[in-house]
């Protein structure tokens, strides 16, 4: 519940973020969550095996 309070969201909303079958957070939400936990969001791209550019 502490994380939900720090994010300013309900506990139910936080539970949805923790559930990969229900979570569909925006980039803005991911950034907010990362700041609360002292992390940062890093987005990158990699070649898929057999599909080099």
Provide φ and ψ at 24, rounded to 5°: -150, 60
Token code pair at residue 37: 């936990």
Task: Tell me the whole-structure pTM to 2 decimals.
Answer: 0.67
- What does the pLDDT read at residue 53? 60
* Residues 1-47: tens digit of each pLDDT: 898 999 999 999 999 999 989 889 999 999 999 999 999 999 999 88
Q: How confident is the model at residue 48 (pLDDT cuts 50, 70, 90)?
A: confident
Structure tokens at 29: 């939400």
Count of the separate structural domains present in the chain:
1
Domain of 19 in residue numbering reads as 1-53
Q: Which residue has the tokens 């992390």?
A: 39
Report the C-alpha gap between 42 and 45 in whole angstroms. 10
Residue that the structure tokens 């994380």 belong to: 3
């Amino acid at each position: 519940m502490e994380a939900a309070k720090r994010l300013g969201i309900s506990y139910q909303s936080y539970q949805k973020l923790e559930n990969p079958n229900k979570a569909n957070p925006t980039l803005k939400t991911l950034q907010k969550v990362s700041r609360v936990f002292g992390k940062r969001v890093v987005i990158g791209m990699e070649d898929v095996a057999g599909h080099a550019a």
